[in-house]
Structure 1
Amino acid sequence: MKAEEIRALQAPLKQQYREQPESALITLKAQSRIGEGITCKIETGKAMVEAGLHPATGGDGLSACSGDMLLEALAACAGVTLNAVATAIGIELRDASVYVEGDLDFRGTLGVTKEADVGFKQIRLNFELDCDADEEQLASLLKLTERYCVVYQTLTHVPAITMTLNR
């Protein structure tokens, strides 16, 4: 896709959102249902995924780990955003890979010690690019990718989350 193609694709949406800001507010949804053993099935929109315990918490490794899925969501969103931004600012990517790593201390999630937090301690996001962009263009690409990546922004600016229990 070329810069003018992505602009043409997004122009009517941008205009609509300027004129009718409420139309830009969309609620994305996800749903899961418990499965066999200690698993949970989630519909991804493309396929059913069975999530389960990570081997470090007693899982057998046959089910997807929700921690891995969080990192995969970041890698996917960052990759799509990088590609869209590169296209919009005229950087031709011959190839690009996104690598995401996250550090967990499983003592926290297993309740071994209260000193160990539950959740990722650090997440590292790395891009490997094959392109002819100069340093200034690359800095702009990284800055705009960071700014417009929904998952990255959600993880760095934590939204309010509520839990409810229905019977």
Structure 2
Amino acid sequence: MDATALRELKAPLKRRYRDDPESARAHLHAEADFSDAGITCTVQTWADTRAGFHPFTGGDGSDACSGDMLLHDLLACAGVTMRSVATAMGIDIRNGRLRASTEMDARGTLGVSRKAPVRLGDIQVVAELTERYCVAQSLARPPHLIIRRAAEE
């Protein structure tokens, strides 16, 4: 898809949402069940995903961890947004890689220490664009993006 095709795709949506802001509200939902054995939960997606314990909390690594799944979802959003913006700007990204990382203190989720947080740490999203294949040849090195919640600033 090029910038013109992207604009043509988005134009009627933008007009409708400007004229009728309420029509821009999408109801998102997810479903999961306990159809698999063990302490797991199977999330129905385009490819069902069985979630379970992270190895640091007693898992054997055969199930997805909800923290990892959150990072996957974040990368999906960041990647589609990045390619959409690049397309609108006429930049052809042919080769690239996104990575998200964070830290988790397993003591919190296991109830070992009340002082240990039951949450993920700061999440870093790193975009690596291979200069050789990117029309925007101005990248001397991959950009580093740090995403933080505004409420913490």
Distance 1:33 1:92 in 2: 40
> In the alignment, which residue of structure 1 is the partner of 2:100?
100
The amino acid that maps onto 2:41 is C
Runs of 4+ in structure 1 deviating by more than 3 angstroms, as ranges, are none
Aligned-residue sequence identity (percent) comes to: 47
CA distance in 1, matches of 2:55, 2:66: 12
Deviations 1:40-61 (A, max 9, x none): 01101x1221110111111121
Aligned length: 144
Structure 1 residue 69 and structure 2 residue 69: aligned? yes
**Structure 1 residue 127, shift from structure 2 partner:** 0.4
Whichever structure has more strand as a proportion of its residues is 1
What is the TM-score with the length of structure 1 in the denominator?
0.78
Distance 1:8 1:28 in 2: 25
2:39 maps to which residue? 38
How large is the Cα RMSD of the aligned pairs?
2.3
1: distance between equivalents of 2:86 and 2:94?
11
Alpha-carbon displacement from aligned partner over 1:106-148 (angstroms, at most 9, x marks no partner): 111111111110111121100011323236xx99xx99xx9xx
**C-alpha displacement of 1:156:** 2.6
Q: Which residue of 2 aligns with 1:114?
A: 114
Q: In the alignment, residue 69 of structure 1 is paired with which amino acid?
A: M
Q: Distance in 2 between matches of 1:96 and 1:13?
A: 29
Bigger mean CA deviation after superposition, 126-135 or 24-33: 126-135
CA distance in structure 2 between the partners assigned to 1:157 and 1:50 by the alignment: 32
The answer to whether residue 135 in structure 2 is matched with residue 132 in structure 1 is yes
Equivalent of residue 156 in structure 1, options 132, 135, 149: 149
Q: TM-score, normalised by structure 2?
A: 0.85
3-state SS of 2:102 partner: strand
CA deviations 1:22-56 (Å, max 9, x no partner) are 11001100111224210001101x12211101111
Alignment of 1:2 with 2:2, yes or no, is yes
The residue type equivalent to 1:156 in the other structure is: R
Q: Name the structure, 1 or 2, with higher relative contact order (CA <8 Å, separation 6+).
A: 1
What SS does the corresponding residue of 1:94 show, helix, strand or coil? coil
1:66-113 Cα deviation digits (max 9, x unpaired): 111000011111111100000001112121211111111111111111
